[in-house]
Structure 1
Amino acid sequence: MIQDAILLERVLVEGRPTLKILCRVASVIEDRLNDPAERDRFWHVAGARLSKLHRLSPHDRDEIEGMIAGRIPMSVASQAAES
């Protein structure tokens, strides 16, 4: 099974709240979550795509990355790049 990180935005459409896909952040196959290289690839792609969203504040980006990290742990290399 594949784990997808998708960033959604809540918008009103005809007065009703609707979720709109803002960005497909990254994906990884669940069976490969224990592979540090696969996690590093995931976080490299995720970081690059989140960087392209100029409307995100640094605080927003930290919160989004924290939520994703709750499901897909950062590799050691990704954590070092964050510092």
Structure 2
Amino acid sequence: QLPTAIFSLDAKTSCRRLEVAFHCKLKGPAVVDKKTLVELQNFQTPPTKGAFLRGTGMDQTTGRFTAHTAGIYQFSAN
């Protein structure tokens, strides 16, 4: 027997479309010393499958992201 559904797809609330998303990479290596801050620049969208740039929030030249809409944003780097 299948478990009872937690919610119905028919009762689904409308979701906002993902308007800004990006996958960027530095054009070259960057050295960041411990306990320092560095503003990184010169990003590119990798020419690989799965890389993308959607919307106008990310400026790849300056490396700055501008949030045009209030919300929750998630960033990660490695």
Normalising by structure 1, report the TM-score: 0.23
Counting helix residues as a fraction of each chain, which structure ranks higher? 1
Normalising by structure 2, report the TM-score: 0.24
- Greater C-alpha radius of gyration: 2
Counting strand residues as a fraction of each chain, which structure ranks higher? 1
